[in-house]
Amino acid sequence: MSLHDHAPVEPGYEVHTHHGDYIRIWAILVVLLVVSVAGPFFGHPLVTLVTAFGIAVVKAYLVAKNFMHINVAPRYVAYLVGTCLMFMLLFFAGAAPDVMKSDGTNWNKPAWVAAHEAAVHGGAGHGEAAHHE
């Protein structure tokens, strides 16, 4: 058997070989990474967030399509991935309102409150009290 021989294939599945676009796709991913890292240096928070999440979606699509080969997998694999993504978003939407609060009934997050106070009043940060001489 040579290196280019393939194992027998089940009926209904095709044999796919690796395509030579991996280097090009990797270069596109690196350029998108540089753009998403450079975005915050421009000082526009809303544009930075929209751009960063837009680039993240594009990069995830490129990786799933070209490196994970979702586009050549059986159709149920794409449905399974989509279902998992929907459940992840549903979990985040359900948990985020409670997790992102600094306090609630019978609980609080003192480190969050201290960090917020330090940020607002220019303190030392990291939950530590500012020391002045």
Confidence at 102, pLDDT banded by 50, 70, 90:
confident
- Between CA 97 and CA 95 the distance in angstroms is 6
What is the pTM assigned to this prediction? Answer: 0.54
- Cβ(81)–Cβ(61) below 8 Å: no
pLDDT score at 125: 47
Of the pLDDT bands very low, low, confident and very high (cuts 50, 70, 90), residue 132 is very low
- Taking only the tens place, the pLDDT of each residue in 54-63 is 999 999 999 9
Q: Write the DSSP string, 75-105.
A: HHHHHHHHHHHHHHHHHHHHHHHHHT-SEET
Burial bucket for residue 123 (CB in 10 Å: 0-12, 13-18, 19+):
middle
Q: Which of 13-22, 29-38, 52-61 has the lowest mean pLDDT?
A: 13-22
- What is the pLDDT averaged over residues 91-107? 82
- For residue 12, give the H/E element and its range: none
Contact 29, 62 (CB under 8 A): yes
Q: Is the pLDDT of residue 130 over 70?
A: no
What is the pLDDT, as a whole number, of residue 133? 43
Q: In the chain, what are the domain boundaries?
A: 19-72
User: CA-to-CA distance for 118 and 128, rounded, in angstroms?
Assistant: 8
pLDDT digits (tens, 9 = 90+) for 69-87: 887 888 898 899 889 999 9
CB proximity list for 8: less than 8 A, separation 6 or greater: none
What is the percent of the chain where pLDDT is above 90? 23
